[in-house]
């Protein structure tokens, strides 16, 4: 099969001197050593940028240099030591993405302590479980809302000694709540009194030491605390960054939760390891505005964000004059044709290629600049399956989207598509140093230096995760295609066994259904039943556009029962069924009159569906789907 190499980035990022690719040897063996190396080797180079202004421009972003980063982290380490936090003890971070998140993280690690990130969307009961299970002594929070959650559960947490609040003016001392700046001030005083005592803890951090405990999202049962070492983190970064030419000066936009391993590795640890630069989006809603300001060279997002970016382009194009709309449609059609030829290994005619390249230099360049991705060299989708049509669309506009597969227990990435070897519909091949195989029951197994130390305080679950031969059991099922690329079929525990004994993985069906703009979530049901059915939710933004186009009035509940909308959904279901066997076909569906949310317990903080909760909440609707045979 002939696969055309993906084109390199067309932008011209400003880089001075000789650029180093990957993690240099002088960065050391721990993320602590890497930060210290940057602070000394590149003291005046920007490490992080953030912008509190409502409508930022390039000049309004505030810069924190590597020297300032290292000093602040040392001050945090000194402040934590002053509070009595010892080596190996646990410090939690309950905060949205911001500079203080990274300072708290690295300050904790410089102190020889262990970081425990918590999703800022977590409910008080979820926070209480993690803080209690990890025996956390200090917790950083970013605002009074998070502080309120901790005050509510304080009585359940005898180990918790202090809360550190960003922007707070409270003084360090005997107070239970301490201001972030006050903690830094106490640390600065300690550094003046005895700098060697603070830095000695940093020097004693070893690669095999526990660095962080990352709790899984808990789709079934309470979350497990995955233990990752400094060696896990640095091993992954040393092996993966050279594959994608990631190195010194690369810039990233941080906006996905840092409590998720993908964002933590990408915008927290990786820039430290390669001396890159992290920009902080103001929030998730402003990503489309912050991207053009940052113009990242490396960008990672989940499929839902990529879908929203595609909608941004399509909405912009719809507002243009007819000739422009026609030209853009022609450009994308040619791009999709080229992608199809690349995947099939068939040649592209010279005239088609020439026309596409001409349009790409003009229209393609404008679209990439519109998104703020005109300088992007590495574009990654991860955390959930992305529909092949979405990936093809971005390839067609000159943004080769690479699907990556991994898990918290594997410290992030396991397999990924690579430049010039993209197999759309797969998650690529094993990354360097990692071995991936398929067990007899189709489970995906992993071995490598990225495999975690196990689950905190759970030897039984650890033994189930990592077998006697060192293979990590991912809990996912998959298969290799003829080219050796991995296809992930779904979670083992999610397999549906119908009344006829058919084993069906629902995930692929759900991905196809949610490829329709109107459908935000799809949950397949059918365990022990004669056929499959689906619970569907609608995307509010797409529904608003649909209602406007069809001159419909009413709220979500009314529109969910609209005959014209149901007919459109039925047509989508029919198209999905046409690609599958009769046993895999969805016979009936129900459009729910609300969206699934983490607050209702129906989604995890990473927006994965908690099937058991959805089944429980909508038991009556499921019963109705099977009434009457």
Q: What is the mean pLDDT of residues 289-302?
A: 95
Q: Which tokens in the block code for residue 251?
A: 């810039």
pLDDT band at residue 469 under the 50/70/90 scheme: very high
* Chain segment 495-524, per-residue pLDDT in tens: 999 998 888 999 999 999 999 999 999 999
Model confidence over 219-268: pLDDT tens digits?
567 889 999 999 999 999 999 999 999 999 999 999 999 999 999 999 99
Q: What's the CA gap between 357 and 335, in Å, rounded?
A: 9
| 210 pLDDT above the threshold of 70 | yes
The domain made up of 495-625 is a member of CATH 3.40.640.10: no
- How much is the pLDDT for 106? 98
Confidence check: pLDDT of 56 > 70: no
pLDDT in tens, 598-617: 788 888 777 788 888 899 99
pLDDT exceeds cutoff 70 at 50: yes
Which residues touch 234 (CB under 8 Å, ≥6 apart)? 23, 27, 28, 29, 30, 31, 34, 207, 273
pLDDT of residue 5: 32
**Architecture of the domain defined by 30-229:** 3-Layer(aba) Sandwich (3.40)
Comparing 348 with 207, the larger pLDDT belongs to 207
Percent of the chain with pLDDT over 90: 79
Q: Above 50 in pLDDT, residue 143? A: yes
Q: What does the pLDDT read at residue 313?
A: 96
| Domain residue spans of the chain | 30-229, 303-491, 495-625
pLDDT digit string (tens) for 185-203? 999 999 999 888 889 999 9
Q: Check pLDDT > 80 for residue 14.
A: no
Pick one of 1.25.40.10, 3.40.50.12780, 3.10.310.30, 1.10.287.130 as the CATH number of 303-491: 3.40.50.12780
**pLDDT of 348-394, one tens digit each?**
889 889 999 999 999 999 999 999 999 999 999 998 889 999 999 99
Q: What is the value of pTM for the model shown?
A: 0.90
Token representation of residue 483: 């080219």
What crossing angle do the helices spanning 195-203 and 99-110 adopt, rounded to 10°? 90
pLDDT over 50 (residue 413): yes
Kindly state the average pLDDT of the residues 429-441: 96
Give the chain's mean pLDDT: 91
C-alpha 314/C-alpha 328 separation (Å) is 10
Number of H helices, E strands in the chain: 23, 26
Cα–Cα distance for residue pair 91/115, rounded to 1 Å: 5
pLDDT class of 414 with cuts at 50, 70, 90: very high
Whether pLDDT at 175 is above 90: no
Q: Which helix (H) or strand (E) holds 215?
A: strand 210-215
User: Contact 368/399 with Cβ under 8 angstroms?
Assistant: yes
Domain 30-229 identical in fold to domain 303-491: yes
Bridge partner list, 455: 226
| Helix, strand, or coil (residue 599) | coil
Rounded to the nearest 5 percent, the helix, strand and coil shares of the chain are 45, 20, 35
* Predicted pLDDT at 16: 37
pLDDT band for 174, please (50, 70, 90 cuts). Answer: low
């Amino acid at each position: 099969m002939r696969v055309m190499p993906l084109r390199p980035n067309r932008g011209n990022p400003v880089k001075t001197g000789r650029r180093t690719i990957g993690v240099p040897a002088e960065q050391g063996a721990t993320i602590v050593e890497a930060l210290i190396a940057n602070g000394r080797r590149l003291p005046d180079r920007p490490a992080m940028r953030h912008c509190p202004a409502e409508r930022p421009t390039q000049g309004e972003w505030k810069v924190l240099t590597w020297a300032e980063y290292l000093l602040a982290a040392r001050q945090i380490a000194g402040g934590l030591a002053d509070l009595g936090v010892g080596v190996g003890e646990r410090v939690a971070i309950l905060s949205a993405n911001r500079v203080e998140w990274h300072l708290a993280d690295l300050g904790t690690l410089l102190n020889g302590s262990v970081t425990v990130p918590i999703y800022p969307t977590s409910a008080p009961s979820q926070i209480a479980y993690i803080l209690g299970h990890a025996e956390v002594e200090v917790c950083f929070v970013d605002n009074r809302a998070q502080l309120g959650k901790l005050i509510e559960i304080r009585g359940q947490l005898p180990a918790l000694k202090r809360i550190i609040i960003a922007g707070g003016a409270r003084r360090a001392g005997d107070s239970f709540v301490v201001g972030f700046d006050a903690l830094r001030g106490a640390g600065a005083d300690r550094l003046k009194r005895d700098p060697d005592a603070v830095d000695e803890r940093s020097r004693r951090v070893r690669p095999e030491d526990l660095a962080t405990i990352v709790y899984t999202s808990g789709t079934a049962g309470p979350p497990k605390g995955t233990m990752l070492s400094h060696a896990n983190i640095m091993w992954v970064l040393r092996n993966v960054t050279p594959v994608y030419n990631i190195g010194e000066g690369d810039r990233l936009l941080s906006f996905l939760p840092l409590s998720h391993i993908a964002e933590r590795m990408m915008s927290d640890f990786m820039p430290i390891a390669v001396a890159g630069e992290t920009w902080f989006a103001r929030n998730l809603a402003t990503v489309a505005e912050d991207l053009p300001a940052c113009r990242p060279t490396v960008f990672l997002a989940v499929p839902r964000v990529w879908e929203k970016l595609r909608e941004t382009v399509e909405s912009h194009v719809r507002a243009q004059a007819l000739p422009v709309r026609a030209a853009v449609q022609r450009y994308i059609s040619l791009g999709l044709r080229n992608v199809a030829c690349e995947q099939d290994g068939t040649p592209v005619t010279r005239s088609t290629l020439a026309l596409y390249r001409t349009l790409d230099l003009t229209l393609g360049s404008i679209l990439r600049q519109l998104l703020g991705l005109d300088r992007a060299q590495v574009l990654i989708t991860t955390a959930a399956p992305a529909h092949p049509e979405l990936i093809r669309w971005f390839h067609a506009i000159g943004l080769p989207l690479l699907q990556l597969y991994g898990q918290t227990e594997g410290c992030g990435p396991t397999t990924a598509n690579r430049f010039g070897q993209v197999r759309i519909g797969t998650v690529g091949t094993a990354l360097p140093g990692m071995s991936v195989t398929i067990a007899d029951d189709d489970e995906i197994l992993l071995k490598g230096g990225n495999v975690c130390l196990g689950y905190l305080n759970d030897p039984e679950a650890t033994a189930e995760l990592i077998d006697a031969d060192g293979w990590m059991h991912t809990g996912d099922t998959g298969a290799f295609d003829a080219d050796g690329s991995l296809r992930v079929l779904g979670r083992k525990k999610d397999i549906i066994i119908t009344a006829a004994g058919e084993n069906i993985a629902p995930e692929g069906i759900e991905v196809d259904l949610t490829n329709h703009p109107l459908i935000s979530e799809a949950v397949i049901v059918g365990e022990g039943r004669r056929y499959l059915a689906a619970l569907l939710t609608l995307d509010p933004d797409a529904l608003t556009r649909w209602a406007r186009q069809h001159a419909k009035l009413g709220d979500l509940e009314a529109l969910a029962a609209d005959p014209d909308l149901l007919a459109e959904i039925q047509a989508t279901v029919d198209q999905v069924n046409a690609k599958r066997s009769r046993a895999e076909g969805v016979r009936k569906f129900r459009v729910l009159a609300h969206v699934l949310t983490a607050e209702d317990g129906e989604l995890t903080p990473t927006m994965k569906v908690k099937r058991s909760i959805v089944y429980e909440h909508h038991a009556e609707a499921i019963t109705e789907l099977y009434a009457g045979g």
